[in-house]
A and B are shown apart, each in its own frame.
Chain A
Amino acid sequence: SQELEQSPQSLIVQEGKNLTINCTSSKTLYGLYWYKQKYGEGLIFLMMLQKGGEEKSHEKITAKLDEKKQQSSLHITASQPSHAGIYLCGATHPGNNNDMRFGAGTRLTVKP
């Protein structure tokens, strides 16, 4: 089973709508990473969260890590077609800092 559960698996939204993607770990996280991937291409680093309760924003994307450091959400405001792609959450765990495990990804489609 996945150590990191992402939901939803896929998401279709109308341009301009807000959306949220969730990532839940079965273990306490050390670091939580969000990446975006276009089909068959490399992973683009979005944000990294380390502290419980931490929140970071970049342009219209906001990511939060809960206090217990087991759940993160990625929120996109006023989505655009350029936001389309696969969003992956990755996590490292205490004592295993270099072995990043990924969730299965959320495929986002934004309809113009």
Chain B
Amino acid sequence: AAGVIQSPRHLIKEKRETATLKCYPIPRHDTVYWYQQGPGQDPQFLISFYEKMQSDKGSIPDRFSAQQFSDYHSELNMSSLELGDSALYFCASSLKHGNYEQYFGPGTRLTVT
């Protein structure tokens, strides 16, 4: 069965650079979630989108923005990168908005040097 696809899988950036992470949800899933997992930490919810509109906002820094496109894929844009942004970034998708199973992608490991 198709799963959530994230690209790239690994990314190395320098401080103050920008990065764009991409997420392709499971086919027919219309809701996308972004999470950040720091080293040794549990995932922290950043933001979610339903039908191309932002539905919930968590602890996403102002330097980050995200959007969901007409084909339901989503992109997380990160600017003015800081060392503390180094983390695993997960995207999850669910079939419908609300309390449905969230299926996670393999993650993008971002390293900021």
Contacts and interface: CB of A to CB of B under 8 A. Distances in A.
Contact of B104 (A35, A40, A96): A35
Interface string A69-107: 000000000000000000010101000111111111100
A98 B31 contact: yes
B105 interface: yes
Nearest to A104: B42
A42 B45 contact: no
A33 B102 contact: yes
Contacts of B20: none
B45 A100 contact: yes
B21 interface: no
B24 interface: no
Contacts of A96: 56
B90 A42 contact: yes
Interface of B: 4, 31, 33, 35, 41-45, 48, 50, 55-56, 58, 88, 90, 92, 97-99, 101-107, 109
Interface of A: 2, 30-31, 33, 35, 40-45, 48, 50, 88, 90, 92, 96-105
Given A88-B43, A90-B43, A104-B41, 16 more contacts: A31-B99, A35-B104, A40-B107, A40-B109, A41-B106, A41-B107, A42-B105, A42-B106, A43-B90, A45-B104, A50-B99, A97-B97, A98-B48, A99-B56, A100-B33, A100-B35
